[in-house]
A and B are shown apart, each in its own frame.
Chain A
Amino acid sequence: METHDSRSFKLVILADYFVNPQGYGNLPASGEVYEILRDSGVGIIKMPPPGVSEQSLEGWITITADQVEEYSKRGYKVFILGVEQLEGSGVWLDRIERELQARGLPKPTTINLTSEQLKAGRENLKKTLNPILSG
């Protein structure tokens, strides 16, 4: 569909850490990944913060899978970006994958950043994020 507007047709399902890095103790409190994504024009679907209830999480997983399904069906590119050190990569990755599998849908291209990659500086981060930035 022609939208005649500025959208990028590219989105990333993102761990809360990347938007709100303060409060994640042993991970760098850096906004670099957010800034790189922001400047690249990719849209962000931020997952909720850690500590949401199981019942609440079910809702978040359902609508996340709904969005992956809808956007993919319409030709938008969807990625997942998590942090290796966080439980479920900070995006409840196993839950999202299970939900997509149950729907017979492929898993989006997924990048899990390590602590070392997070500390490697902006230019190195850009290289690591290249599948999203150039996708």
Chain B
Amino acid sequence: MAEQRRKVAFLAHCLLNQNAKVAEYARYPGVVHPVVDLLKQNGYQIEQLPCPELTFMGVNRWWQTKDQYDNPGYRRHCRFLAQFTADVIEKYMREGCDVVLIGLDGSPSSGVRYTGRNPNWGGRPNATPEQFQIVPGKGVWIEELEKELQRRGLQLPRATGIPMDTPDFDMQKSIAELKAFLEGKEE
């Protein structure tokens, strides 16, 4: 019988550590256990991506859109993180593992399918959640990480996101979507 490929999931940092979230967006005390436990139950080894926002702007940062994070300094920071993160991804790929990327949809940094935008944000903060526009697209961190993997000639991992930064987030629905993704049945 053929040996099964080892499976490794690279998770957005906050799926293991909700303390890294921007204020008002931590939906769990620490680990987002429905997601992590589903991956573990499905035989995935768990790896954690760095949180570029926390390590750039700190834990008391304001809400930000992709339009604000899309600047040379933040992209340079993401490229710094991407270099040593890609080393770990590359190690698993070269070992023949099935690598998947689970981002955080709606996030200006870690979104895979959806990110958050508003070209008018900036200046004196008077933001409301409704102004944070969820649009199809990737966050700045995921873009820079994928660029680093492409620069190394590596295939991009299959990727999805848990939409915890979207206003209509529903964990049950998200878990069903994640199950479909893991089974290769995603839309």
The prevalent SS among residues of B at the interface is mixed
**Contact partners of A74 in chain B: CB under 8 A:** 58-60
Interface residues of B in 25-79 (CB under 8 A from A): 25-31, 33, 36-37, 40, 45-48, 50, 54-55, 58-60
- Which of B20, B29, B36 has the most chain A CB atoms inside 10 A of its CB? B29
Also in contact, A70 and B91, with CB within 8 A (given A6-B18, A46-B47): no
Assembly CA distance A8 to B19 (angstroms): 7
The residue from A31, A48, A57, A59 contacting B80, defined by CB atoms under 8 A apart: A59
Also in contact, A44 and B58, with CB within 8 A (given A5-B24, A6-B28): no
Q: How many residues of A contact B (CB 8 A)?
A: 43
Q: Do B26 and A46 have beta carbons less than 8 Å apart?
A: no
Chain B, residues 136-159, CB within 8 Å of chain A (1/0): the string is 000000000000000000000000
Also in contact, A7 and B60, with CB within 8 A (given A43-B31, A56-B88, A63-B81): no
Q: Do B30 and A43 have beta carbons less than 8 Å apart?
A: yes
Q: Do B81 and A5 have beta carbons less than 8 Å apart?
A: no
Distance (Å) between the CB of B108 and the closest chain A CB? 18
Q: Do A8 and B30 have beta carbons less than 8 Å apart?
A: yes
Known: A6-B27, A43-B30. 13 other contacts (CB 8 A): A2-B23, A5-B27, A19-B16, A20-B46, A44-B31, A45-B16, A45-B48, A46-B47, A49-B88, A53-B87, A58-B84, A70-B54, A76-B19
> Chain B: residues with CB nearer than 8 A to chain A?
16-21, 23-31, 33, 36-37, 40, 45-48, 50, 54-55, 58-60, 80-81, 83-84, 87-88, 91
